[in-house]
Amino acid sequence: MTSSRNRTGLFAAFASLGVTAAFIPAVLPSAERMLSAELSAAVPALFAGLLVGVLLSGPLLVRRPARVTLILGSALQAVALVAAAWAGDPVLFIAAAALAGLGFGLVEAAGSVAAKAAATGSATGLLSALMGTVAVCAALTPLAVAAGAAALPALSILAVVPLGTIVLLAGGHEPSASASDAPARREVRALLPLLPFAIALPLYVGVETVLSGWSAVIPARALTLDPAAAALGTSAFRALMAVGRFGAAGLRRRAVSPIAILAVGTIGAACLMTAAGLLVNDAPAGALVALAASVVLLAPSYGLILGLALDRLDAARSAAVTGTLVACGAVGGTFVPSLVLLIGRDPASSTTLIVSAALCAVVPVLVLIAARARQRTSTTS
């Protein structure tokens, strides 16, 4: 996927991820009112579908070009967005959320492989820009949902984003595969150096899910805001993520080391989250400011961790293991928030924020361990 059309299609695919990531959570209150039903199960259904999608992506990416999986995932997201907007039954809405997650997982995994193939040198710069695109679209989508909350079927117009991805990619050209790009079998010994990344990804995704999933709940409880005002916390979170991710992409263009960006960002975010935990009871406004700053510093982490892992592989092996790495992240997004809530009890509690900070602080340690292991391997080879 090296042509300009395919590159544009790749950015469109990640834009659709932003739409899907924000649409289901943002539309829940309006859908519950319209269907007179409890739809909280839609969020775990979304994550369950995502996990299935990334697991299915492995076999697909080994046997087919990444473009095929991107088109399939985009089609599933388009169908899911329309189905959720027109759902007249709670079961249909929850099923649409699961289908959206399935398409999301396929596109995320295939897009990471495509970014590896399209990148010149390290994949971390391109992945940071792509993740920034996700954040921008995720920040704008809740505004569209708020504008169309009175007429949910009208929100099916958002399906134009994944449909546009299909048009761009279907008309593109898949470059001929070289011998080195042929699908590779997974060799356990060759994947062992990626173990620190496979642990760091779920920790990061779990912490991000704490902040994003409760981005409206935390300010609502800390400042006693009404739900309408608190909902803007989700857009604010996504906007801050965009700032952090595009900032990291700019630093990469200036040849700043991805490990340096990741280490400084995650350590800084952990410190700020700890400060937020200490301030949330006595100075909640200050705690929210600290959390906002931590989001900016934390935002580039996913693309950097995944990019650093893929940099250690050739194109064939990256296709074989990307689904596994993204699945690790999906597992973290499902279980880490549950663990944090079990310990902290309340999303806006001091304990919740400090536990999240502690998990965040482990991420740079793991990445630095992987970097030192690679240096030792390079020295002895």
> How many whole angstroms separate alpha carbon 202 and alpha carbon 321?
15
Q: How confident is the model at residue 376 (pLDDT cuts 50, 70, 90)?
A: low
- Is residue 184 pLDDT above 80, yes or no? no
Dump pLDDT digits (tens) for 212-255: 777 777 887 788 776 556 667 778 888 888 888 888 888 888 88
For helices 4-35 and 66-86, the axis angle rounded to 10 degrees is 20
Distances (CA, A) of 3 to 167, 260, 277: 15, 31, 47
* Residue in 307, 312, 302, 109 with CA at minimum distance from that of residue 194: 312
Q: How confident is the model at residue 180 (pLDDT cuts 50, 70, 90)?
A: very low
* Residue in 326, 303, 270 with CA at minimum distance from that of residue 132: 303
Among 15-19, 29-33, 186-190, 344-348, which range has the highest average pLDDT?
15-19
Burial of 8 (0-12, 13-18, 19+ CB in 10 A): middle
Task: Enter the tokens of residue 257.
Answer: 């080391």
Do the beta carbons of residue 283 and residue 362 sit within 8 Å?
A: no
- Is residue 297 pLDDT above 50, yes or no? yes
Residue 280's H or E segment, with its range, is: none
Task: Please give the model's pTM, rounded to 2 decimal places.
Answer: 0.70
> How many whole angstroms separate alpha carbon 375 and alpha carbon 71?
38
Residue 218 one-letter amino acid: I
> How many whole angstroms separate alpha carbon 201 and alpha carbon 205?
6
> How many whole angstroms separate alpha carbon 373 and alpha carbon 127?
23
